[in-house]
Amino acid sequence: MERGYLKLTVYQKAFKLAMEIFELTKSFPKEERYSLTDQIRRSSRAVASAVAESYRKRQYEAYFVNKVSDGDMENTETQTWLDFAYCCKYVIKSKYNELMDESIQVGKMLNHMIEHPEKYRRKSSS
């Protein structure tokens, strides 16, 4: 099965960010396991997942835009959880800034995909 989405910079950055968040959250307090830890891991992973799903349906513009929009929503949720993690002092300012910058970059790429879905259409094989 073709996995062309793996070549997309936005997918690579979103996946990397999710893995960085996974590593970071290993140090979060146990009492955060079912709230902050699970939520930030889920939302950050959902961004890469939405990109992969949208790529497979890119010939359907409305579906593509909808799935990329879902990824953008999850990315914004991840930023909110990062805000909580920083305010709760689970992450230092420099790491917070680094992760937030990466998330903002991903958001800009997702917005480009939403605004220009024609650039991601499957090429016809004729």
pLDDT in tens, 84-102: 999 999 999 999 999 999 9
What pLDDT, on the 0 to 100 scale, is given for residue 94? Answer: 98
What pLDDT, on the 0 to 100 scale, is given for residue 126? Answer: 44
How far is it, in rounded angstroms, from Cα 30 to Cα 48? 26
How far is it, in rounded angstroms, from Cα 98 to Cα 74? 18
* DSSP letters for 8-37: -HHHHHHHHHHHHHHHHHTTS-GGGIIIII
Domain count, the chain: 1
- The reply to whether 9 falls in a domain is no
Q: How confident is the model at residue 41 (pLDDT cuts 50, 70, 90)?
A: very high
What pLDDT, on the 0 to 100 scale, is given for residue 1? Answer: 53
- Looking at the predicted structure, is the pLDDT value of residue 116 above 60? yes
User: Which residues span the domain enclosing 80?
Assistant: 52-117
- The reply to whether 63 falls in a domain is yes
CATH number (domain holding residue 77): 1.20.1440.60
What pLDDT, on the 0 to 100 scale, is given for residue 125? Answer: 52
